[in-house]
Structures are given as C-alpha cells and as structure tokens.
Amino acid sequence: MPRIPVEQSERMHLRVNPEQKARLIRAAALQQTDLTHFVLQLALREADAVIAQAEQLQLSERDSLQVLDLLENPPAPNSKLRAAAAALPPL
C-alpha cells in the first residue's frame, strides 16, 4: 500500500493576553501536564463535541418509533418517486 507523507507535527500560533496565558499555565500545572498538551486535549475534546453535535440527530422516543415504523412499513411510492427512479441511469 502506498504511503502518504504526513507531517509529524505542525505549529499553531495562538494569541492570548498575559492573564489568559497565566491561567492556562496554572491549569496545566494543576493537571501535571505541559501547556501544549493541556490546551490541545481540551481543544480536541471540544472539537469532537461540536462535530458530534453537527453530525448526529437526537430523536425523541415518539420520533424514533415513527422512523422504525416507516422503515418496516414504507409508504407506497408516489408519482414523483417513480419518476425520479425512472430518470436514474441503468446499473
């Protein structure tokens, strides 16, 4: 399998005022880690949460049951669906 070259790491610059930096350094020290690891772990955790929220759909119990019912008992195709299917290229 061909290997794709990947940079081992990239630098990212972040502007903070002295008070913000001091707070971050203090929090990192309390976690017994370095500033880079502290900031990166929190940023990645937040990034994962934002991505999950954007990519996942939370349904109520009622809506979940309705979706399951529609999957098990789909409605008959209407004229628009039949026309769309007919317009597809053959496999």
User: What parts of the chain have a pLDDT lower than 50?
Assistant: 1
pLDDT given at position 42: 97
pLDDT of residue 5: 64
Q: How far apart (Å, rounded) are the C-alpha atoms in residues 32 and 67? A: 48
Residue 32: strand, helix, or coil? coil
What span, in angstroms and rounded, lies between the C-alpha atoms of 39 and 46? Answer: 11
Instruction: List phi, psi (to 5°) of 70.
Output: -65, -35
Q: What is the pLDDT of residue 9?
A: 78
d(CA 84, CA 8): 48
pTM above 0.95, yes or no: no
Q: What is the pLDDT of residue 2?
A: 56
